[in-house]
Structure 1
Amino acid sequence: MNELHGAGVRLAAGTDTGTGYLVPGFALHDELALLVAAGLSPAEALRSATRDAARTLGLPAVGTVARGQAADLLVLDDDPLRDTRNTRRIHGVVVDGRWIPPEERRRLLAAVEEAAAQTPPPQEGATMTGCGCGGHP
């Protein structure tokens, strides 16, 4: 991974959502840690999950915080540039310009957890065709 990055290959974290048992947001914390373990700096890993992922998906107006950009924000209790595990220390969330209060966030996360618990595991020998993102062969 580090060799690809060193050669200038754009790495895009978090773009495999839609595959079994990768819950958006939750799996990304683990992916950031794996990128750092592979040799990226915390800043490089975070860029791979924000700006670089957006560019890879053809979304130039998201992924950075700047005038005119669409941005959802994660407000953290500690610096993720020091340690990407700090992305788990979430103080608050802003989505579409709306602050999600802690109690609402807890309710939303409980609903996600309940839905995930009710999802049956894949059957033995199950295969997937296409990208798994619903609608593409």
Structure 2
Amino acid sequence: MRIRLTSVFVDDQAKALRFYTEILGFAVKHDVPMGGEHRWLTVTSADEPDGTELLLEPAGHPAVKPYRDALVQDGIPLAQFAVDDVHAEYERLRALGVRFTQEPLEMGPVTTAVLDDTCGNLIQIATLPG
């Protein structure tokens, strides 16, 4: 069994696409119109184009807003992305205007930081022991 797809709910797919590709550096895997304003819009790591896909899913379901609001209020990230060096990625992203809710923090062998994806979610970046 493998993880093929996971999703983050986003307020605006076009805005999310810009953030996840132009700022975070992911690459578009699928961009399929679904009728109306929604698309089947997935991104992957530019380094692993056949790896796990992240669906930038419209946040239209009524349960999404209270769920995401509660996570953000408590400072809980919705997802975690691995990076080679949290400190370097933190500096790169800050220079691009990304807002962080947690600066790099070392917790034993793991270093993390938490950013606001501008689409309603907190995302954690982490450097894990190799």
Normalised by the length of structure 2, the TM-score is 0.25
Which protein is richer in helix relative to its size? Answer: 1
Q: Which has the larger radius of gyration?
A: 1
Which protein, 1 or 2, shows the higher relative CO under an 8 Å CA cutoff with sep ≥ 6? 2
Normalised by the length of structure 1, the TM-score is 0.24
Which protein is richer in strand relative to its size? Answer: 2
